[in-house]
Amino acid sequence: MESLSFSLVQTSLLWEDKAANLRAIESQLDAVAVLGQVVVLPEMFSTGFSMRPEALAETMEGPTIRWMQDQARQRKIILTGSLMVKEGDAFFNRLLWVLPDGSLGKYDKRHRFAYAGEDQHYAAGNSRVMAAVGGWRIHLQICYDLRFPVWARQQVQHGKPEYDVLLYVANWPERRSHAWKTLLAARAIENQAYVIGVNRTGEDGNGIAHSGDSRVLDPLGNLLWTAESENGIHTETLTKTHLQRVREQFPFWKDGDSFTLHP
């Protein structure tokens, strides 16, 4: 596929109210005539960034995941976003990648935000995850992962970069928006990949404001699109031609250090 389109859902979230958040998101999706091939929701889109998984987490057979599967099937999209998931005795901040046939992939957040106590309530993931769509490779990440460049670092596999798009879903606070914007651009430049960051808006249950600032950057770090605090859905189409041109004209990726990750 020469092109791949992403619809970014920037929205406010009602604190710990799953049913209301799902209704609101569904209404937003209904209002868009044509959605992209991949629709991206923020981190913990059904609850906000809550530290109460004991009360709010679901299993992989839970209603929020069934809702995601229903939406993906009905709208013929790939739907992704993170939520609280219980597995055995552990809780995960898990990004789900739901295909139009209802099948799914998963990525568990590696870097837990200890500043807010996330490490006290959620287990850490131990694997990088790449999703594949029509010849595109998408590296899936969640919020605080953005601060740790090694976890996102492009590696060379079979003589070419291992991924094309680096995708972050987030509940990133307004007070640190400068870091959000700067690090997204840095990840694009250093990995010579498109970068997509989808963040929420509004105030959470702890009184923390979120300014949105969702954005799409090209492999040179150029800003293709951004939104500040307004809610809405934006569709951006990425092209392989531009990605390949950048990598051929500036083949910096060939000079990177090889390394092995030990989570």
Tokens of 250: 């500036």
In a domain, 48, yes or no: yes
In a domain, 262, yes or no: no
In a domain, 136, yes or no: yes
Residue with tokens 């020469």: 2
Q: Which segments of the chain are extended strands (E)?
A: 3-10, 38-40, 78-87, 90-98, 104-108, 130-133, 136-142, 156-157, 160-161, 165-170, 194-199, 201-203, 209-211, 215-217, 223-226, 232-239
From the CB of residue 19, how many other CB atoms can be counted at a distance below 10 Å? 12
Cα–Cα distance, 67 to 63 (Å, whole number) = 6
Q: At what angle do helices 18-30 and 63-75 cross, to 10 degrees?
A: 10
Q: Which domain holds residue 88?
A: 3-255
Identify whether the C-beta of residue 129 lies closer than 8 Å to the C-beta of residue 140: yes
Residue with tokens 């105030």: 203
Identify whether the C-beta of residue 51 lies closer than 8 Å to the C-beta of residue 118: yes
Domain count, the chain: 1
In a domain, 63, yes or no: yes
In a domain, 104, yes or no: yes
In a domain, 229, yes or no: yes
In a domain, 100, yes or no: yes
CATH of the domain at 171: 3.60.110.10
In a domain, 261, yes or no: no
Per-residue pLDDT of the chain (263 residues; tens, 9 = 90+): 999 999 999 999 999 999 999 999 999 999 999 999 999 999 999 999 999 999 999 999 999 999 999 999 999 999 999 999 999 999 999 999 999 999 999 999 999 999 999 999 999 999 999 999 999 999 999 999 999 999 999 999 999 999 999 999 999 999 999 999 999 999 999 999 999 999 999 999 999 999 999 999 999 999 999 999 999 999 999 999 999 999 999 999 999 998 888 87
Q: Angle at CA 106, nearest 5°, toward 166 and 52? A: 105
From the CB of residue 107, how many other CB atoms can be counted at a distance below 10 Å? 26
Residues noted as catalytic: 43, 109, 143
- Which pTM does this prediction carry? 0.98
